[in-house]
Amino acid sequence: MLAVRNWGLRDYGASLAEMRELRAARRRGEIPDTLLLVEHPSVITVGIQGDDGDVLPEGLPVVRVERGGKSTYHGPGQLVGYPIVDLDPRGRNVRGFVRDVEEVVIRALEDLGVHGARVPEKRGVWVDAARKIASVGIAIEEWVTFHGFALNVATDLTVFERFRPCGFDGRLMTSVARELGGHPTVADAVGPITRGWTSVFGAPIAPRPAPGPLPTTPEVTAP
């Protein structure tokens, strides 16, 4: 069974606190695998790899978190998804999970009219292997995932140009609006992302061997 919770526009700090609570609830078996969808007011988040001394945009709040990767931007016009998924029945396959998250976004982009794809050795979803349209950065604690992806729908891309998001030149970032023109909204992307989530994570799971002990520290993967 899968669930989706659409939080709409919500403060990053409040979302982070509840996301962590829901991760613990999933570990206890109190909720099913759940995708949280949210749009944040402007904020910079910095993963465990830090910002390498890069100068971050002035005037924006900065939150350091436990996900993989470096710094990135969340803001209006961006649909952020936090998959809370128990990896035990999925064989604790972290790389497979990250590819599945990317696949959710790729399928959603096809629905929206944009051809997105993976690029070898680079995390996230790209257009023409040259422009990054979605970032992925997760954390895994007790084999339950949290944090997730950020899809630029109609995001102000000039903010990315003011620093090095995920260690890349910010000018490489793109959005659905830039690729297609027009005025897409975050609401336009909710249906395609939900369908992608259901089709990818709702597929039957092959039986797995009984898992070993739970890890004592989080695993992470970078944007």
Residue 216 confidence (pLDDT): 46
Stretch 192-209: mean pLDDT, rounded? Answer: 84
Which tens digit of pLDDT belongs to each residue from 26-54? 999 999 999 999 999 999 999 887 665 56
Catalytic residue among 166, 173, 190, 193: 166
Could you confirm whether 166 is annotated as catalytic?
A: yes
Architecture of domain 2-205: 2-Layer Sandwich (3.30)
* Region of residue 181 (left: phi > 0; alpha: psi -120 to 50; beta: else): left
How many alpha carbons fall within 13 Å on the CB side of residue 103?
13
pLDDT tens-digit series, residues 64-102? 999 988 889 999 999 999 999 999 999 999 999 999 999
**What are the pLDDT digits (tens) for 158-194?**
999 999 888 888 999 999 999 999 999 999 999 999 9
What confidence category does residue 103 fall into, taking pLDDT thresholds of 50, 70 and 90? very high
Q: What is the mean pLDDT of residues 121-136?
A: 96
pLDDT average, residue stretch 51-67: 82
Bigger pLDDT: 167 or 200? 200
| 139-142 contacts, C-beta under 8 A, 24 or more apart | 139/65, 139/66, 139/67, 139/68, 139/218, 139/219, 139/220, 140/87, 140/94, 140/215, 140/218, 140/219, 140/220, 140/221, 141/23, 141/66, 141/215, 141/217, 141/218, 141/219, 142/27, 142/214, 142/215
Is the confidence at residue 212, as pLDDT, over 80? Answer: no
Tell me the pTM. 0.92
Query: What one-letter code names the amino acid at 42?
Result: S
